[in-house]
Structure formats: C-alpha cells, structure tokens
Chain A
Amino acid sequence: MRPCFALALTNRSALPALLCWFLLSSSALAQGIDVVVASNTAQIFVAGREVRFENLGTAHGGLAAAVDDPGLREMLAAVGARFEWQPGTRYVAITRADGTLITFTVGSNVVSVGDSSIVIPFAPFYQANRLYLPLLPLAQALGLATHRFNSGYAFIPQILSARRLIGQRRTILEIRSAAPLTWRTSYAGKAGHATLTLQFPGFSNAAGPKLWLGGRDARVATFVQSGPPGFPITTINIDVRRGVHFASHRLSGGAAVAVILARDANDLRVAAVTGGPSVQLTRPPQTPTAGPAVPPTTVPNQPTATPANPAPQSAQPVPTAQPLPGNQSASPSPAISSQPGESPEPAASSDASQQPSPGASSSAEPLQKISDVFVTDTPDASRVTLVLSGPVTFEWHRLGDPDNRFWVDVQPAELIGPARDLKVKLSMVQSIKVSQHQLFPNHVVRISINPTQALDVRIGPVENSPNQLGIEILSSPPLADAPTSGMGSISVAPRPGPHMVSATRGPTQPNLIVIDPGHGGNDPGSLNPGVGLVESHITLAISQRLKAALERSGWHVVLTREGDYEVGDPGGNDDQELQSRCDVANAAGARLFISVHVNASTSSSPNGVTTYYWKPGDRALAQTIEAAAAQSSGVADAGIHRENFYVIHHTFMPAILVETAYLSNPHDASLLAQQWFMNKMADGIARGINDFTGGAPPP
C-alpha cells in the first residue's frame, strides 16, 4: 500500500490517495486488523490554553485522539464546538460555533466541512473498541491555524474572512471566525483623521491585509497580526470619517462580529445586517467562509519553536523521594527524605563542595531563590514551607539536651526579602528564624528552630508541590537513638503535573509582565465625585506609567487594557470580564501578573497602600512590592493581606493586586489627582518587581 500512496502524492492528485487510503482502511476494517497507536506526549494548546489529553497517540505517522478523551471535549469546548457521537457508530458530527457541520466517517479519508469536503491523511479508526480521530485535520476542520513548537502544537482560532456591506445609510464590516470572537474596541481621533481599532486577542489573521470600505463612512480596514505565534493578536484598524458613529455587535453563534458605521446613531442597530452588496477583500482570503480550504492531504507542519512559543519549559520532572503530604495533616507515613549524616558538626555551616552526596550541589550550580516562607499548623505538627525556584540540597543538625536546637541549611539558595521570625502553634517550639546565613563561598539559607525539648523533624518535598521544601515538626519526641544530622536534596520539576496547582507553572515568556489596570469600560470602579476622580482612569494612568518604568528596565510588558474599555466581551458578564484578564496573562505565559487598583471605603479614615496575594507562594512578591510602593510614593504602608480576589487566584503565575491608595480618604485622594504621585507609585511598584525578580532577564 505504501508505494500506492507515495505515487498518489507524487502526482499531486487527491483522488489516487483517496482511493488508496479508502482501500487500506476498508481492508483493515474488514480484516479486523488493529491500527497500532503509540502513546504521544505532545503538549496541545487550544486558543491559548493548555489542553491535556489522556489518550493522545500516534497512528499512520500523525496525531490521533480518542473521541472519549476528555482532552478532545475540552479542545472542542475551547472553540465553542459541539460534539455528537454514539459509541459503535461510524459517524462523528461536530458543529462549530459558526454553525458549520463537520462530519468524520470511520474508514473514510474525506471529511465534510459544511458544503465542502477535505481529504485527510488517515481515516478515523477503531482500536480496542475506541474510536480515534486524526487531530491535526480536526483542527483544520475547526478553522484553527496550527503552530508547531518543540514539544507540541498550538491550535489558534483565526479571523477567517471579512466583507463589507454598504447600504444607503451605513457601512458594515462583517468579520467571521469559526470560534467565538472576543474583542476590544478603542477609538483615537485627531484633526481630520480618526481610527477605530478592534483587537482580537488570541486570534491569528487569515483574512488578508486590507479591505476597502467605500470611502463614505470609512476608507479602509487594515488587518495586522502581532504577538507571539502561540497567542497572536489580530488588530483591525478602520480609517473612519469624522463624525461617523460606530457600534460593534456580536452576530448569532458568537463567531462573527458586525462593525456598523453610520452618520446617524439611530442606524447603529444590528437589524438587517445581512444582505446588501458584498465586496471581497483586496486580496482573497485564504479560506472561504464556508470552511477552511486547507490544501488536500497537507498536514500543517510549521517551523519549530521560536523563543516566544507557548510551551512551558521542556525540562522533565525529576522524581523526588518521599514527599511530605500536601494536606495539613501530619501523616504517619514515613516522609523523612533526609539521610543520617556521617559527621555532625553542629556549629559549622556546610560547604556542599566538601560534602559530596547524591544530588549535592557545588558552587557551580545555579543559585536558587526562596521566594516565600510560610507556616501551616495542625494539632499534631507544624510545617515550615520554603518555596523554591529550583533544585537545592539541604543539611540538618540537632544539638543534644539541654539545648536541642535544630537547624537546616539550604543551598545554593538566596532568601528573597528580609529574615523572618516565624511562630508555630506547637508549644515546645519557642521560635523559628529563617535567614540568609552565608553569602560566600556558597549562598546558604538557614532555618533555625529553637525548642524547649528534643524535636522529631521530617524534611522533604511537599506532595503535589514539587517546588516546595517542607520542614515538618512533629509534636511527638524523637527516638532516643535518632540521628543528630543528615542531608538530602530536592529536585524541582518546573513542569506541572495534571492536578498540580497552577501557581507552580513556569512562565513561557520569562521577560513578560502583564499589568492589569483594574475596572474600565462599563465598570468605572470606585468614584470620588468631590474631586472628580474615577478609579478606572487612575488605574490605567498608573499602569501606563508602570509599563514605561518596567520597559526601561528591559521587561516586555502587556496591559490587559490600554483604554477605557472592557477586556472581555462588552456585553458579557462580570465572570467573563475577570477571567478575560486572567486569560491575557495565562495564554501569554507571563512571568508576573500585577493588578492595579484604587481602594475605597465606607469610612473616610482608612488610607495607604495595600497589597493582596492569594497563592501562598506569592507572599514575598506582595511584601516586596508593598514596601517599595509605600516608600516611593510616601503613602502609609497598610500592609499585605491574603484574600481570594479572582484575578490573583485564577492566574497561573505569581500574581498580586495592589490597592494603591484610598479614593475615600481626603489626603490620599488629593495625592491620586497628582501626576507626580502616580509616577512615584508606578516607580515604586516597578522597583518592587525588580527587587523580587532580580531584574529583567537578558533578551
């Protein structure tokens, strides 16, 4: 069969290939020959989000996904498609968000997409009573562009087509995709010239570069694609005439938007958008509106990853021994990962290069950061958790009675922020100090526990949080012959497991920071009518200054909004609005997410800057930014707090929300009205970010 298929490809004719594969498939089915499906671990991103397949495989040299795989359902849901299939049947029907019906047939290399059909490299097949679909052709049929990178594929929704409709009283630009469109609108006018801009985050452009709009209400619409290939942004700039009103409406199914331009605001209603004269683009679109016209038998195989690809770091997880339980109960299961040492030297700080051990570090190993330290208490134990940026070694020692001091040295490690004095509920622990014990020749962070009696302590990685080192102090005393020193190592796996909290995901763009100016559009936030201040305006002004300050330090910065508009769908609900802000940072793989707000209270007394975090590991980031913002701006330091604010909970990367000052406090409000104060506040936040990260990484 292979020569037959090769001949067909050589002749560039779809028909022989179709016949060849049809015969192959029919023969295989008739003979009951199982197709070999080899496991495939490719990462799949759909519309900017990672989709995890449970049964992704390779068959006939291409990716195949089982129809009952939750990942396939998630992929379809991400682009608004519906799925129908009855086990045991030959047909799989998928309805795209734009209403186009896609039909796969078992054993057939032809897929119908609306009124057209495409030929695919291998037919859907059953294997071990599971039905598999070819994944890349499915993405094509869904109208998605495919971007291949080192460890997988990104499937990207596209602006598929655009057309103009010119009536007697208005001009309509109709933009179509196969997936639900989300966009934001802004308008900039200068003398004799005005531009209406629509941005479609996460959409690539397949609609050509330009569309002439007749000249009466608008001259031309230009289509520009920017951003990383895994999460592009398509921007449509419409050169409109002065005095023209505009509105954008979502059309049925959500996969199309109509931009209406009219002299009279009464003509902006969406009724009667369809119909009227239609003009094609100046360059024909790559795909007709009926469906994607991908060259037959061509599987997208784009160039390999660029530095901006959306894949997480490719480092593979390294097994770590005997994790501490992730919940707060002190499990009786053995969790000691440290090993008895050979040479107790209680007063000396260790030098790893002189104490070789499996996994022990040398001074040549990269310095890791301890970004946070926190305590969790249960009735039977107290745990000190260190949040690590990478692999470290640790060495512990215990003094005998009556001192009983216990300490752990972690290296090579740098403690971010000041030394901490921690309190735990266990009564036999008087104090715990975490400090940067040594800087030369090695960076050593010491955790020193001062007890009233001998302690039984377990040290190891925290279950389900491999970037955390747990030091668990048990309420029961140690055995009489327990060792007095030991050492061990912890390997940090930057790639998260399927059920790991998202906070542990590594950034895919380590030099990118996303700043979220709070509120905007139909949500002005808090108001102070007395001095004419609106929160959404102030958050944008400070965010723009913060962006400039960070860019001066070498960071790449994206704002979730750059004008007074909603980040998500203007007609959407607040749930979508907050999630849209998270999506910008999550899809881009940003390193940090900073949400900028202005506080307000029912009382006029509260004042000062407050920084919020939610994920325990983000505490140090909040502390650093709070201190720098207060110092730089001169407002009171109202402290950091942990609260379940949506945008800092649902972002994958370290995230904080800073309430810069109180609009309801007369003194703070007078400051918020000053340009210099906004500059100082932005400079302070930027300095806090640089303090926390050590500055922007080299490009």
Chain B
Amino acid sequence: MRASAALFVAAAFLAGGCSRHATVPTTHHVTIFYGRAGTEKLVPMQFNVDEKVAANPSALETYAVNQLLAGPVVGSDTFVQFPAGTHATISQRGKMVTVDLHGPIARSIQTGGTDEAALFKSLTYTLTGLPGVSSVQVLVEGKKLAALPGGQFELDEPLTRDTFSQ
C-alpha cells in the first residue's frame, strides 16, 4: 500500500515537473484569534486551509468557528475555552454572520465576566477578519438573548470589533 502510494506521488511529481502548465498549489491562511484567559488580549494563530474551503465563504466561516470551539492546539490551559460539547451553526446575510450556539453553553456559562467577554471578542475578531464579514449576531439555540444563561455579556445586538475595547 505504502509502496503504491509512493509510486503515485513520484509519478505525479514527475508528471508535474515535465508539464510547462503545472499549477503551484496556493496556500490559503485563516487567522483565528484566541482569547488569553483572564485578560482581554487576543492571540492570533494562522491555519492553512485548502482552496475549496478558502473559496467558499460559508465553509470558511464554519471552519473558523470550529477552530475556535476546538480551542488552540498548544497552551490550551492559558486560553479561554468554549465549554466542551458546544457546537454552532453558521449563516450569513449581507456582511453579518449569525452564529447559533448549541450545547452546554446554551444552558449556562460557568466562567466569569472576563472570560465570557474574551470568548465573544475572539469570535468577533475571527469572523470579522474573514472577507466580507463586518458583524456577528450570536443566537442561543435559535433565539436572540440579552445574554447567555448565567452570563453578563450583552448579545441582543450584532457584535463588531468596535463593541470591544481596543
């Protein structure tokens, strides 16, 4: 199996090298902003996405939100985290992306105000960093709420980067 795969890769390489019209795969990056726990600081991390995802705004937004929900790869204990089991559905109208949160976060949020604000700041900065997105409306199980259950951060208006302290 390995031998045949290697042969295939080698053949593809040779074929590519021989062709004058070969295309060099374009590398696409997406920046995910993770919130540093207990602060308002964001840490940008870059991820590579393939061309199919990069070319599809909806797929790119979903990818970005899923990266946030999954948490950072390294140093996860120093970053704010969405509660395990949180999932989201994404939709877009004009320049506003709607993120509908489901799972434990819809029942209550157990962090204090600092991490709660950082969560939504990281979500907003990440999504508004994508092409054609200027604001984020958060829903909780399909409903627009004043705040998460047990939370403080106001969610009944779309969030923009201006919502947060610079």
Chain B contributes a number of interface residues (CB within 8 A of A) equal to 31
A527–B110 touching, CB < 8 Å:
yes
A643–B117 touching, CB < 8 Å:
yes
Choose among A578, A600, A610 the residue that contacts B147 (Cβ–Cβ < 8 A): A578
B121 closest partner in A (C-beta) = A643
Least distance between A643 CB and chain B CB atoms (Å): 5
Choose among A598, A600, A643 the residue that contacts B153 (Cβ–Cβ < 8 A): A643
Considering the complex, which residues of chain A in the window 599-631 have a beta carbon less than 8 Å from any beta carbon of chain B? Answer: 599-603, 605-607, 610, 612
Q: B61 within 8 Å of A by Cβ?
A: no
A646–B78 touching, CB < 8 Å:
no
Which residues of chain A are near B146, meaning CB under 8 Å?
574-575, 578-579, 646
B113–A602 touching, CB < 8 Å:
no
Interface-lining segment among B9-17, B24-32, B33-41, B92-100: B33-41
B145-166 interface code vs A (CB 8 A; 1 in, 0 out): 1111111111010000001110
Q: For the complex, give the distance between the alpha carbons of A548 and B39 in Å.
A: 32
A578-590 interface code vs B (CB 8 A; 1 in, 0 out): 1100000000000
Choose among B39, B115, B149, B153 the residue that contacts A523 (Cβ–Cβ < 8 A): B149
A626-648 interface code vs B (CB 8 A; 1 in, 0 out): 00000000000010011111110
A599–B112 touching, CB < 8 Å:
yes
B112–A659 touching, CB < 8 Å:
yes
A578-B146, A662-B38 known; A601-B154 Cβ under 8 A: no
Q: For the complex, give the distance between the alpha carbons of A631 and B139 in Å.
A: 40
B103-140 interface code vs A (CB 8 A; 1 in, 0 out): 00000101111110100000000000000000000000
Q: A514 within 8 Å of B by Cβ?
A: no
Q: For the complex, give the distance between the alpha carbons of A610 and B152 in Å.
A: 14
B38–A605 touching, CB < 8 Å:
yes
A526-B111, A574-B145, A602-B81 known; A645-B154 Cβ under 8 A: yes
Which residues of chain A are near B77, meaning CB under 8 Å?
602-603
Q: A519 within 8 Å of B by Cβ?
A: yes
Q: For the complex, give the distance between the alpha carbons of A606 and B117 in Å.
A: 15
A606–B37 touching, CB < 8 Å:
yes
Q: For the complex, give the distance between the alpha carbons of A607 and B38 in Å.
A: 8
Q: For the complex, give the distance between the alpha carbons of A603 and B156 in Å.
A: 28
Q: B64 within 8 Å of A by Cβ?
A: no
Which residues of chain A are near B163, meaning CB under 8 Å?
644
Q: A209 within 8 Å of B by Cβ?
A: no
Q: B80 within 8 Å of A by Cβ?
A: yes
B154–A597 touching, CB < 8 Å:
no
Q: For the complex, give the distance between the alpha carbons of A605 and B145 in Å.
A: 30
A527-B110, A659-B113 known; A601-B152 Cβ under 8 A: no
Q: For the complex, give the distance between the alpha carbons of A602 and B37 in Å.
A: 7
B153–A644 touching, CB < 8 Å:
yes
B150–A574 touching, CB < 8 Å:
yes
B37–A597 touching, CB < 8 Å:
no
Q: For the complex, give the distance between the alpha carbons of A33 and B96 in Å.
A: 55
B150–A597 touching, CB < 8 Å:
no
B70-83 interface code vs A (CB 8 A; 1 in, 0 out): 00000001111100
Least distance between A580 CB and chain B CB atoms (Å): 11
Which residues of chain B are near A645, meaning CB under 8 Å?
113, 117, 152-154
Choose among B112, B152, B165 the residue that contacts A662 (Cβ–Cβ < 8 A): B112
A599–B113 touching, CB < 8 Å:
yes
B38–A601 touching, CB < 8 Å:
yes
Q: For the complex, give the distance between the alpha carbons of A602 and B112 in Å.
A: 9
B78–A603 touching, CB < 8 Å:
yes
> 12 interchain pairs (CB within 8 A)?
A526-B112, A575-B145, A575-B156, A578-B152, A601-B38, A601-B80, A603-B79, A641-B114, A641-B117, A646-B152, A646-B154, A649-B154
Q: Which residues of A contact B (CB under 8 A)?
A: 518-519, 523, 525-527, 573-575, 578-579, 597-603, 605-607, 610, 612, 638, 641-647, 649, 657, 659, 662-663
Q: Which residues of B contact A (CB under 8 A)?
A: 37-40, 77-81, 108, 110-115, 117, 145-154, 156, 163-165
Apart from A573-B145, A601-B112: 18 A-B pairs, beta carbons within 8 A: A574-B148, A574-B151, A575-B145, A578-B147, A599-B112, A599-B113, A600-B111, A600-B115, A603-B37, A603-B38, A605-B38, A610-B113, A643-B113, A643-B165, A644-B154, A644-B163, A645-B153, A647-B152
The 7 tightest CB contacts between A and B, nearest first, are A606-B38, A599-B112, A603-B37, A575-B146, A645-B152, A600-B112, A602-B81
